[in-house]
Chains A and B, each alone.
Chain A
Amino acid sequence: MQTKPLALLTRSPLAGVFVALAVIFTLSALISPYFLTPYNLSVIARGLAFVGLITIAQSMLMVLGELDLSLGVIGGFCGVISGILMVRLGVEPYSAMLLAVLLGAALGLVNGLLVTMLRLHSLVLTIGTAGIFGGANLVLTRGVAITGIPKDVQYLGRGDVLGMPVPFVIMLMALAVATFVMLKTPFGRYMYAIGNNQAGARMLGIKVDKVRLLVFVVAGAIAALAGVLMVARLGTAQPSIGETWVLAPIAASVIGGVATTGGVGSPIGAIFGAGIIAIIENIIVLFGVSPYWQGIVSGAIVVLAISFDAISRRYLRRDA
């Protein structure tokens, strides 16, 4: 006879990744005396915030069965644009950030239109658009960072609220909205239906292309938000922002149970996956792992986490 909470846990598709995250967290806390310090936890949370935002955006697209490899570049490009607006053109800083987020939405719209109207594969298309957006970034900056970001907006990247880093709180808010929309609204159900079977969704009368377009737009805006928050964090608009935001969000989503084929998973699971990656990156430094071993160590932990997830799910299901 099984207790009710355990039954609930076993039914949840998040059970495996949550247990994997909890195990890695507990082991890290047991092994390193520095891991559970408030400062270190805030370091992890702040780092997770930026990749987490991209992960939310990517997981939404993956549920649709799409992949956008330009999200990181959109983040970097829009971050640079916000810097240009506020430093070179004297636009009021918060307005500049808002405009940059709108630009991100517009770039998402471009991706979405090309995918839906020309029936292009999003993965292939966004390799191309990533090149264009990234190239435009270099043309505008010539590779040189834009300095002199006003101190007022730096709070958004460096400050704390309720004892948590501001970007992390913003990421949690975005996660809450995305989760609510995807799990509790008709629009969310349409997303899963499209991801499961696009042709079937069309036959059911779902406006498939409109839904896909809108998700691309939202994903672009979220990526831009990550970019402008990173500008606030660094105090400079670095052209290199977003370069490392390509594979980690996809890996995080997959670890978190989001299927690359669509229709399965949620942003919460993806954020758990991103949490695992963020902790791995942190403990590698805490343990002083040689940089030449870091790839092997982090890769092995990810493989272990995914295996643990799969095994625990199978075990819990058998137990249920």
Chain B
Amino acid sequence: MKKIAILLACATALALPFTATAQDAEGTTKKDAYRFVVVPKVVHPWFDKVNEGAQAAAAAIKAQTGSDVEVIYSAPQAADVVQQNQIIDSALATQPDGLALDLLDPSGNRASLEEAQNQKIPLVIFDSVPPEGMAIPYIGSDFCEQAKIAARRLVEVLGGEGEVAIMQGVPTAPNHSIRAECHRQVFAEHPGIKVVAEGIDNDSIETAQQQAAAIMQANPNLKGWVASDAAGPIGIGQAIVEAGKQGKVTLVGLDNLPEMLDMIREGVADSSSASQPELQGYWSVMLLWAQATGAKVPGYLDTGNAFLTKENVGG
């Protein structure tokens, strides 16, 4: 009897570490329901595609695990960091299982992000980069490479010579400013290319159109355009058409909004260097869910860029 008791005690002692390991293993925490909040920069069609990807990820997790997954999409009405912080702070009050954000300005968003970390709410940043010194997983394409693809294409179409202009998006948004800077770097490598003007569209098609129209008026020899956000090329394209400069001014666009694709099909734009918003939304939710289950996640996830031309955008 004593021997049996000793054997049982030994077996229990040996089994304990395994039990503990199974319970503590990364990614094994399970909940019946998850609620994630997605906060983009602003109400914008590009972010609708992010939301589509996020909802697809929620459906996928539900189908695979049986857990209910709710993705709440809460967008600022204007690209204003004050308004965005107010939404983030209010969203934190609902204690979500995770928060995916596209930062308008990492330094301006820092206080809200620190509050989220204090509350131990998993975070993911998409289409942007985390504030300096903050360890937050982020998702996006290589913004610089995306811009360089567009700028190199413009240089190629222009044969390495001519006056060009750059449309910036929201100057404080890191992805926009990175793209604008990388456009400049490519143009600086080509002595025949002269950047004669830069506009700021603040991610608004209307503003982009007004800025582009004025810049083309002031620079009649302008030969080409690149942009730093998704709204920019659409406004530029409208300005090109209105000014009757189709075929005389080359536009290499950015991203894959329906209007952008139409402009490529109609020949208003030559091509577009596109990030993939659906993938960014999808993997944002996946990374939030993984964090909520206790799994470790990569610090950076690259969703890649696509180069769109008349040949591959389809009818």
A interface residues (Cβ-Cβ under 8 A, vs B): 32, 34-35, 37, 39-40, 43, 46-47, 50, 142-145, 147, 154, 157-158, 230, 233-236, 238-241, 243-244, 281-282, 285-286, 288, 290-292, 294-295
Contact = CB atoms under 8 A, between A and B. Distances in A.
Contacts of A144: 171-172, 177
Given A47-B86, A291-B75, A236 B108 contact: yes
Interface string B249-283: 00000000000000000000000000000000000
B39 to A, nearest CB: 9
Given A47-B86, A143-B171, A282-B90, A244 B108 contact: no
B93 A286 contact: yes
Contacts of A34: 93-95
A93 B117 CA distance: 28
Contacts of B306: none
A145 B75 contact: no
Nearest to B91: A285
A217 to B, nearest CB: 25
Contacts of B92: 39, 43
A234 B172 contact: no
B171 A285 contact: no
A37 B91 CA distance: 13
A281 B86 contact: yes
B81 interface: yes
B295 interface: no
Contacts of B89: 43, 46-47
Q: What 10 A-B pairs come out closest when comparing CB atoms?
A: A40-B93, A143-B171, A285-B90, A291-B75, A288-B72, A43-B89, A236-B107, A234-B108, A147-B107, A34-B94
Given A46-B89, A143-B171, A291-B76, 12 more contacts: A43-B89, A143-B200, A234-B82, A234-B85, A236-B107, A238-B81, A243-B80, A244-B80, A286-B93, A288-B37, A291-B43, A292-B43
A50 B110 contact: no
Contacts of B75: 291
B105 interface: yes
Nearest to B171: A143
Nearest to A35: B93
18 contacts: A35-B93, A43-B89, A43-B93, A47-B89, A154-B111, A157-B111, A234-B108, A238-B81, A238-B82, A238-B105, A238-B108, A243-B80, A244-B83, A282-B93, A285-B90, A288-B74, A291-B43, A291-B77
B191 to A, nearest CB: 26
Interface of B: 37, 43, 72-83, 85-87, 89-95, 105, 107-108, 110-111, 168, 170-172, 177, 200
B80 A234 contact: no
Contacts of B93: 34-35, 37, 39-40, 43, 282, 286
Q: Which of A35, A50, A154, A234 has the most CB of B within 10 A?
A: A234
Given A243-B80, A291-B73, A291-B75, A145 B105 contact: yes
Contacts of A238: 81-82, 105, 108, 172
B80 A240 contact: yes
Nearest to B40: A291
A240 B86 contact: no
A94 B245 CA distance: 53
A147 B111 CA distance: 13
Given A238-B108, A286-B94, A291-B75, A142 B82 contact: no
Contacts of A291: 43, 73-77
A271 to B, nearest CB: 18
Contact of B82 (A40, A158, A240, A294): A240
A287 to B, nearest CB: 9
Contacts of A147: 107
Contacts of A285: 74, 87, 90-91, 94
Nearest to B168: A143
Contacts of A241: 82
Given A288-B72, A292-B43, A244 B78 contact: yes
B82 A244 contact: yes
Contacts of A292: 43
Contacts of A230: 82
Contacts of B77: 291, 294-295
